Structure 1
Amino acid sequence: MGGTMDGTRQRRRGDTRQRIQDVALDLFAEQGYEKTSLREISERLEVTKAALYYHFRTKEEILVSVFEDLTRPIAELIEWGRQQPHTLETKQEIVRRYSETLKGASPLFRFMQENQATVRELRIGEMFKNRMLGLRDILVDPDAELVDQVRCLSAMFTLHAGMHVMQDLDGDPEDKRRAVLEVATDLVTQAHESAGRTRQAP
């Protein structure tokens, strides 16, 4: 699992707190959150439990810190989106930037996908739900037809699914990511244009 974090790991390696996050996330992915102990995390890091406690007191503290660090761009994206006009260009840019965020935080989102029951019971479950609601409110026109609201929500889920399902398809990872992004962007575009035609209809 040494390359799980890819380039992100290289940038973060020098920071003890971030090394703890990386190793913990690797172990959570390998054997599950519930079966991983702080002792195992400290052993993998080759540090004492006391040294680990200096940074984090519990496994959940580690996971929450990973979530906050890797999904900070989502919070910033929501804040940006709320200040923009409710145009197609804004929605397309939201989808593009969200795709980039998922790419940078892929180990975390893989963990969340594979441990959904655990995530729902932890603080990050509610935190993630609130982030998704924030994006939904920007992408979805409240007065749009139901089918168009579903299209916008499906764009978000398409990006999520792309991180997992696309792994089973042949091809360059970046080409697959671009293909997923194109499909998600098409869904948002269709929804926006359909809503526009509905508003113009007599």
Structure 2
Amino acid sequence: MGSSTPQARRSDTRERIQKTALDLFVSRGYEKTSLREIAEELGVTKAALYYHFKTKEDILSAISEELGRPVDELIAWAKEQPPGLETRRELLIRYSAALKSAIPIYHILQENQATLRDLAVGQTLRERVESIARLMHAGGVPFDTHVRVASALLTVHFGAFTLDEVGGTEEQKRQALLAVALETLDSAGAGAPEGAATEAAQAVSSRKG
């Protein structure tokens, strides 16, 4: 009674490997972490590790798939929504929440760009970010809105990397970054309709002329 199946034990082992490898990739760097070091940290032989994952990239791909699943689900949801400010705001809020678990994998990509940019996992991570960006910019919006959207998205996505030395919990930082991003998205006329800032600027320019 209560004994786990071989499949369940294999799944548990893979999860332990992924968690240990993720910690090492973040603390030491992807390139500087070897399969041998991962095995030693786990207290297993390299052969035992090799049974589950043949390469570091295989481990990173598995981590990326698991941690990136909320982002993939968000992309699928956003594709079904009508473009507009409300969709962009909701997408930004949900993306911020999805990054809570996925941020370590993007941290690895950020710190190891030269190594990962040509690997499949690096391409997958970039495609996720690009998909979110395309969805945020959807709807044929004017230039001023594109600028606000880009700034808001960059704040949510990259802001956490700039606050490592700042006090506060990770959740406090996430909430603060999201608040700034939403303010940016809603700016240019304190929530005026899209394009209002551009129209106002053109009107001022015309009067000056």
Instruction: Please state which band the TM-score falls in when normalised by the shorter chain.
Output: 0.7 to 0.9
Per-residue CA deviations over 1:1-36 (Å, capped at 9, x if unaligned) read: xxxxxxxxxxxxx82111111111222223222222
TM-score using structure 1 length: 0.82
Aligned partners of 1:30 and 1:170: how far apart in 2?
A: 20
Residue 127 (structure 2) pairs with residue 130 (structure 1): yes
- 8 A contact 1:141–1:149 mirrored in 2: no
Between the two proteins, the alignment pairs up a number of residues equal to 189
Aligned partners of 1:150 and 1:90: how far apart in 2?
A: 17
Task: Write out aligned runs for 1:138-177 (5 A).
Answer: 138-141=135-138, 143-177=140-174
Residue 42 (structure 2) pairs with residue 42 (structure 1): no
> Any gaps of 5 or more consecutive residues in structure 1?
1-13
Specify whether residues 30 and 167 from structure 1 end up closer, same or farther in structure 2 by C-alpha distance, changes over 3 A only.
closer
- 8 A contact 2:142–2:194 mirrored in 1: yes
- 8 A contact 2:145–2:195 mirrored in 1: no
Partner of 1:99: 96
The alignment's C-alpha RMSD in Å is 2.5
Aligned partners of 1:126 and 1:78: how far apart in 2?
A: 16
Kindly name which structure, 1 or 2, has the bigger radius of gyration based on alpha carbons.
Answer: 2
> Any gaps of 5 or more consecutive residues in structure 2?
1-10, 201-209
Aligned partners of 2:197 and 2:128: how far apart in 1?
A: 29
Q: Secondary structure at the match of 2:65?
A: helix
TM-score using structure 2 length: 0.79
Moved over 4 A (4+): 191-194, 198-201
Which residue of 18, 24, 44 corresponds with 2:21? 24
Identity of aligned residues (%): 46
Q: One-letter code of the match for 1:163?
A: A
Q: Secondary structure at the match of 2:117?
A: helix
